[in-house]
Amino acid sequence: MKMMRKEMMKGMMMAAALVASVGITAQDMHFSNYNENPALVNPALTGVASNYRFGLIYKDQWRAVTVPYQTYGGYFDMRLKLNAWEKVNDHLTEIYKKAFRKLAAGLSFYSDRAGDGAMSNTRGDLSISTRVETAQYSFIAAGLQFGIVQRKVDFSKFIWPDQFVGTGYNTAVDPGESFNSSNFIHFDMAGGLLWAYDRGERGIRTNNELKADAGLAYYHITKPKQKWLNSSDERLLPKAVIHGKCLFGIKNSTLSLYPSFLVQFQGPSKEIMFGSLLRYKFKDDSKFTGYIKATHMGFGAHYRNRDALIVSGFMEFGTYSFGMSYDVNTSGLHPVTNYRGGFEVFLRFSGVTPFIYQNAASF
């Protein structure tokens, strides 16, 4: 009897997973470290943080419940004018002014694999952004993103309600579903706007930097058709994103606070995340030679509404950053998960030159 109940629960969970994945209310892939995935948050973030930037991320979740959901990806973006400063003229070789960099571009790749049916979602995107200076330390940016997405699943690995024969499941029984395609490709498009403020330290060891941004983005503008079933005309619902973050130093100390938030709406589904990190500075950059690199360590927590508490930590060595987080499941599923959610790890490299005549923004 216990074995039969276990099989019934497993079958219902897999059927629910398929419905959630192929239905019109399906959500996009997401990461807990959302600030490490600019392409999934807002195309206008392309090229904002540094001259060029490279990142990798991996997430493993729901291992305590079923076949683990695995999501991974990477991105690269750059400003199309690499030199961070320009000479005022050829005669004044040591007087510089801020370069006006208008365009930036980036490439990103993400893929996830979910459950027994090996349902996967793989996408590659090209993002382009432009920016306009609005004041000494602030600017606004706009971005567009164009992507190609492949979705596929192995229907033969699913167990369906019609296959329950009273004492167990018989996979030879017709599931009563009309499948159209188990593998298809579609085009996707997104756009976004961003406001950003970037003011570095005003003196050596003052730790009074202030950097912030806030933006709006809209994904799946084309509402691409989902071709799983013959009997439906399902389309991927558009997704609206609101986000913001701030990094500010606690004056005359070695500590900085890094609060942020992310709100996403996709049809009847929504995701709300907010929290903060605390960063500790071990050493400063060498502004003149660049041989000594700043070193930071940080930790903190975020909360995903009605789902998970996310604890995280990171290390920064100059332009390299490494971090990890863990989702402590707090939803109604926690009796099954025993509060175990998902593990996530990321690596980032920002191509910034911290010399005195360079823009050393790393936010």
pLDDT at residue 356 in the model:
36
pLDDT of residue 261: 98
β-partners of residue 188 are 147
| Residue closest to 216 by CA, chosen among 270, 271, 110, 143 | 143
What does the pLDDT read at residue 15?
A: 44
State the pTM of this model: 0.82
CA of 207: how far to CAs of 159, 191, 275, 283, 309, in Å?
58, 35, 22, 12, 30
How many residues does this entry show for the chain?
Answer: 363
pLDDT tens digits, one per residue of 306-356: 999 999 999 998 889 999 999 999 988 777 777 888 899 999 999 864 333
Q: Can you tell me the distance from the alpha carbon of 336 to that of 234, in angstroms, rounded to the nearest whole number?
A: 31
| Residues 36-87: tens digit of each pLDDT | 999 999 999 999 888 889 999 999 987 777 778 899 999 999 988 654 444 5
How many percent of the chain have pLDDT more than 90? 48
Element containing residue 22 per DSSP (H, E): helix 2-22
Instruction: Single out the residue of 69, 77, 3 nearest to residue 37, CA to CA.
Output: 77
CB 345 within 8 A of CB 57: yes
Residue 290 phi/psi, 5° resolution? 80, 0
Compute the radius of gyration of the chain from its Cα atoms: 23
**What confidence score (pLDDT) does residue 204 get?**
58
CA gap 141, 20 in Å, rounded? 35
Both tokens of 281, joined, read 């500075």
Token digits for 354? 């911290």
In degrees, rounded to 5, the angle at the alpha carbon of residue 72 between the alpha carbons of residues 304 and 27 is 45
> What is the number of alpha carbons within 13 Å of residue 310 lying toward its C-beta?
28
Q: Return d(Cα 106, Cα 190) in angstroms, integer.
A: 14
Assigned token pair, 319:
């332009």
Q: Judge residue 338's burial from the number of C-beta atoms within 10 Å of its C-beta, 0-12 exposed, 13-18 middle, 19 or more buried.
A: exposed
Domains delineated in the chain: 2-350 (2.40.160.40)
Regions of the chain short of the pLDDT cut 70: 1-27, 81-101, 201-206, 231, 284-293, 352-363
